[in-house]
Amino acid sequence: MLFRGALLNGVRVDARVTDGRIAALIERAAGTPLQPLAGEDVVDGGMLTPPSAEPHVHLDATLLGARVPNRSGTLREGIANWASIRGTLTRVDVLERARTTLSWYLDRGTTRVRTHVDTGCPVAVEALLELRDDLRSATPGSHLAGMELAVVAFPQEGILRRPGLRAQWEDAVRLGCDAVGAIPHFERTTEEGWASVKMAFDLAEKYGRKLDFHCDETDDPASRNLEVVCAQAIDRGFGAERSGSHVVAGHCTAMHSYPNPYAAKVCELVAIAGVQVVANPLDNVVLQGRYDGYPRRRGITRVDELWRAGASVGIGHDSVMDPWYRLGTANLLDAAYMLIHVAQLTGEDEMARVFRTLHDENHRPFGAIPRLEIGSDTFLWYSAADEIEAIRTREKPRVFVTGHEVSG
């Protein structure tokens, strides 16, 4: 196959694929264009990118939204509805739903997925760890081959609200979860929330794990756990100099309501600490603001100000038809499209950066960011002429994984 004049990292290139790998790659402006070989499939224009990555989803609860409809649309009802059914889940049910959702992700070009799993559901913890290990040994060309799954030990109801929660949380980390999670804003008191952050760092240090917090997912401007996460990351040496983004803070929607001087301080602190904030616009635009009349807040973290401060920001889908959000598609372009609207990131450079985030900064929780070069065997091709058009249409790319084209 020969891709001619495709946009890659802002320049037009020719790329020849032989035996499933990129065998030649030249900039059109810098050399002689590649000429088609006999029998070669030629694709003109469009864009080539690395695969995308999903930094924040809940595969334990995926596809369960219709079983327990969230009639109020609130975060708290979603948590309560999930808690009401998690004890009925079976290993087979968890695996089937997770595999279905992963196939949707792969069909849209996502090959890395980080899932949170509620440590209050041991069945789901064990099932998703099993699935992670199965994917690691999948044969190239087989179903879901080439996908990477990382699992976060997430205590959905906190670790200090009642006896037994902390033990379940630690058990999940001990079983082999890739990252330690916490939900400090959901603990009983501000002080217990801060204590839970420190306990999460303690556990990560003990087992050599990464950290991924649900952090300040509220409209309350007094919810100030993110600064504690940043301070702990700095003091304990969990900064960006380590492999990938070692500490992730998801949601951070309270920042939307912070006083501006305090928000400026926190944005700077996030950048200094090397903590990556992951925005989840699809969920938060409907879950936040539920206590508001009109005008009603959007409830999205300050992506533009985090960017200006030099912080890393990822974009998560969060929910795929689960008790919190029924409309999920596992298409990260939908999340990117929503973020551009609700965060008012409609400048040309801003929209292009949102698109590139899916294939760049979204990979940081997993480690190295993939680059297309000679020898690459996993990549995407979009027919759109540029990043903005790809987001406008939210098209399905052609997906090439470990030398094989994935068909829907």
Residues labelled as active-site residues? 217
Question: Which residue type sits at 295?
Answer: P
Closest CA to 183 of 171, 207, 199: 199
CA 380 – CA 388 distance, rounded (Å)? 16
Question: Which residue type sits at 213?
Answer: F
| Residues paired with residue 406 on neighbouring β-strands, in sequence order | 399
Phi, psi of 95 (to 5 degrees): -65, -40
Is residue 98 within 8 Å of 131, Cβ to Cβ?
yes
Going across the sheet that includes 210-215, the strands are: 52-57, 110-118, 148-154, 179-182, 210-215, 247-251, 276-279, 312-315
List, as one string, the DSSP characters of 99-136: HHHHHHHHHTTEEEEEEEEETT-HHHHHHHHHHHHHHH
Is residue 194 within 8 Å of 226, Cβ to Cβ?
no
Helix (H, G, I), strand (E, B) or coil at 255: helix
Burial class (CB in 10 A: 0-12, 13-18, 19+), 145: middle
- As given in the structure block, the two tokens for residue 232 are 């702990």
Element (DSSP H or E) covering residue 287: helix 281-287
Query: Is the Cα torsion angle 152, 158, 164, 167 positive or negative in sign?
Result: positive
Q: What is the Cα 254 distance to its own chain's centre?
A: 19
